[in-house]
Amino acid sequence: MRRQIVGLLVISALVMAVTATEVSAADHQEVRQVMGTLATVQAWAPDDPMAQAAVDTAFAVFDHVDSLMSTWNGNSPLSRLNAAPVATWIPVGHEVCHVLQAAIKVTHDTGGAFNPTVLPLVKLWGFRGGTPTLPSGPALAAALSLVDISQLQVADDQARLRRSGMALDLGGIAKGYALDRAVAAMLRVGAQGGVLDLGGNLFVFGQGAESEVGIVDPARPETLILTVPLSSGAVATSGQYERFVTVGGQAYGHVLDPRTGWPAASGFSATVLAPQALWADALATAALVLGVESGLKMLEGIPGVEGVIVGPDGIEVTSGLVGVAGPHRAQ
């Protein structure tokens, strides 16, 4: 049995390393900048052209999802929905509607810790340009009044926002969706296995499976403090180190608490294992907002999902990982 490092995730202070146990036939790997982050895709296939095609297919899916759901691109269906007159139905297509429906479900399942209507807050805190400043109380209250999932409606490949000034941000879920679609596309072109890493979101399938994922201490990024098994499926990590604004010497992370309007606490990371990357991605964001106790409780309540939350007081894992997750073994 050969053990090799097949992927290394670097999320600023967060690093996850993956080791695969088996390799066969041809494999191909590429790293590209997509969806505002770095993506690494490795595919195993019967021959080189197929492995190359599988990798290309995955990157094409990433670009496609970005073109649909980016809020940085004013022409994406999501941006057109955000810019539409209040309460106007906008045809956004099947895929955007699928992700919006999933985002609504996660919002309910997490008691509002995840919420795709968070964009007014994201802008207020300076994550979309301008000089970041601490928001005033009235500004925070005004933005918070626009964070309301009940005012997002989705039907028949269309969506509408029922309050003036509302806007959606799928940054906490779209990369997971893109990974799921990329894996499906890779399988269609004959991939036998793959390891995909999209900015902190990981998917392992087929020959890339039976892997281990190392999670770093958010306070000591050079140290892997925990190893969790990943037999097949998705893992996502959310933390506040990857993207933040600095105001008065203080760092404010990009994951915001939709219930208070303030950034989730720094110094933590939340890692979620799930059969699908969409859920891992969104639930990791939610778990970071909820913090150790509530975050673990929320994850425990969702079948098929496990998680690890690392904070200043140590490591907490869901019950399905007790005795399975072990300290990192030096390589």
Judged by CB, which is closer to Mg ion: 197, or 281? Answer: 281
Among 41, 99, 256, 325, binds ligand ADP (CB under 6 A): 256
- Angle (CA) 326 328 330, round 5°: 140
Judged by CB, which is closer to ligand ADP: 12, or 52? Answer: 12
**What type of residue sits at position 204?**
V
Judged by CB, which is closer to ligand ADP: 116, or 214? Answer: 116
Q: How far apart are CA 76 and CA 73, in angstroms?
A: 6
Among 238, 269, 271, 318, binds ligand ADP (CB under 6 A): 238
Scanning the structure block, which residue is given the tokens 């300076």?
126
181 binds, among Mg ion, ligand ADP, none (CB under 5 to 8 A by kind): none
* Residue ranges that bind Mg ion, judged by CB under 5 A: 172, 281, 285
Range 56-60 contact pairs with CB under 8 angstroms and sequence separation of 24 or more: 57/182, 57/185, 57/186, 57/188, 57/189, 58/182, 58/183, 58/185, 58/186, 58/194, 58/196, 59/30, 59/32, 59/34, 59/182, 60/185
Q: How far is the CB of 289 from ligand ADP (least distance, A)?
A: 5
Residues 311/268, Cβ–Cβ less than 8 Å: yes
The verdict on 289 binding ligand ADP (CB under 6 A) reads yes
Judged by CB, which is closer to ligand ADP: 206, or 295? Answer: 295
255 binds, among ligand ADP, Mg ion, none (CB under 5 to 8 A by kind): ligand ADP
Residues 69/93, Cβ–Cβ less than 8 Å: no
Please give the DSSP secondary-structure letter assigned to residue 192: S
Among 45, 182, 255, 308, binds ligand ADP (CB under 6 A): 255
**Residue numbers 99-118 binding ligand ADP by CB under 6 A:** 114-116, 118
325 binds, among ligand ADP, Mg ion, none (CB under 5 to 8 A by kind): none
Residues 315/321, Cβ–Cβ less than 8 Å: no
Q: What is the DSSP string of 31-91?
A: EEEETTEEEEEEEEESSHHHHHHHHHHHHHHHHHHHHHH-SSSTTSHHHHHHHSPTT--EE
Q: How far is the CB of 274 from ligand ADP (least distance, A)?
A: 13
Tell me the Ramachandran region of residue 219: left when phi exceeds 0, alpha when psi lies from -120 to 50, beta otherwise: alpha
Q: Which residue is at the shortest CB distance from ligand ADP? A: 171
Residues 66/213, Cβ–Cβ less than 8 Å: no
**Coil, strand, or helix at residue 159?**
strand
Residue 185-204 contact track with ligand ADP, rule CB under 6 A, x = bound: --------------xx----
Q: How far is the CB of 3 from ligand ADP (least distance, A)?
A: 28
The verdict on 217 binding ligand ADP (CB under 6 A) reads no
The verdict on 135 binding ligand ADP (CB under 6 A) reads no
Residues 54/186, Cβ–Cβ less than 8 Å: yes
Q: How far is CA 177 from CA 46, 151, 203, in A?
A: 27, 23, 11
116 binds, among Mg ion, ligand ADP, none (CB under 5 to 8 A by kind): ligand ADP
Q: How far is the CB of 124 from ligand ADP (least distance, A)?
A: 12
Residues in contact with ligand ADP, counted by CB under 6 A, come to a total of: 21
Judged by CB, which is closer to ligand ADP: 95, or 242? Answer: 242
The verdict on 258 binding ligand ADP (CB under 6 A) reads yes
Residues forming the site for ligand ADP (CB under 6 A): 114-116, 118, 122, 169, 171-172, 175, 199-200, 238, 242-243, 254-256, 258, 281, 285, 289
